[in-house]
A and B are shown apart, each in its own frame.
Chain A
Amino acid sequence: MLCLRCHQVALGEKPSKRATLALAFATLGFCGFLPGIVAIVLGHQELASIRRGEAPGSGEGLAVLARNVGWFHLAMLVIMVLGLALRA
Chain B
Amino acid sequence: MAKATFALEAGGPQRLELSWGMFWKNFQITLDGQQVGTVEGGQKALKEGAEFRLPDGSTLHVQLVQSAMNVELRVLRNGAPLPGSASDPAQRVKSAAYLLYFLAGLNTLLGVVAMVVMSEMLEGMGVGIGNILFGAIVAALGFFTYRRSRVAPVLAIVLYAADSLYTLASFSGSGRTPPVAGIIFRIYIIYALVQAVKAAGELARQEERAGPGLSPQP
Contact = CB atoms under 8 A, between A and B. Distances in A.
Interface of A: 1, 8, 10-14, 16-17, 20, 23-24, 27, 30-31, 56-58, 61-62, 65, 69, 72, 76, 79-80, 83-84, 87
A23 B104 CA distance: 14
Given A56-B218, A69-B101, A10 B11 contact: yes
Given A61-B94, A84-B116, A76 B108 contact: yes
A11 B118 contact: no
A86 B215 CA distance: 57
Name A's interface SS: helix
B137 to A, nearest CB: 9
A11 B9 contact: yes
B11 A58 contact: yes
B37 interface: no
A14 B13 CA distance: 18
B35 to A, nearest CB: 22
Given A16-B218, A87-B118, A56 B105 contact: no
B11 A56 contact: yes
Of the candidates A16, A31, A58, the one having the most CB atoms from chain B within 10 angstroms of its own CB is A31
Nearest to B83: A58
A83 B146 contact: no
A87 B74 CA distance: 53
Contact of A83 (B108, B115, B139, B143): B115
B94 to A, nearest CB: 6
A65 B11 CA distance: 18
Contacts of A57: 11
B139 A27 contact: yes
B159 to A, nearest CB: 15
Nearest to A81: B116
A1 B14 CA distance: 11
B136 to A, nearest CB: 4
Interface string B117-144: 1100000000000001001100110110
Given A12-B218, A56-B11, 18 more contacts: A10-B12, A11-B9, A11-B10, A14-B218, A17-B218, A20-B147, A23-B146, A24-B143, A30-B108, A30-B135, A61-B94, A62-B146, A65-B146, A69-B101, A72-B108, A76-B112, A79-B113, A80-B112
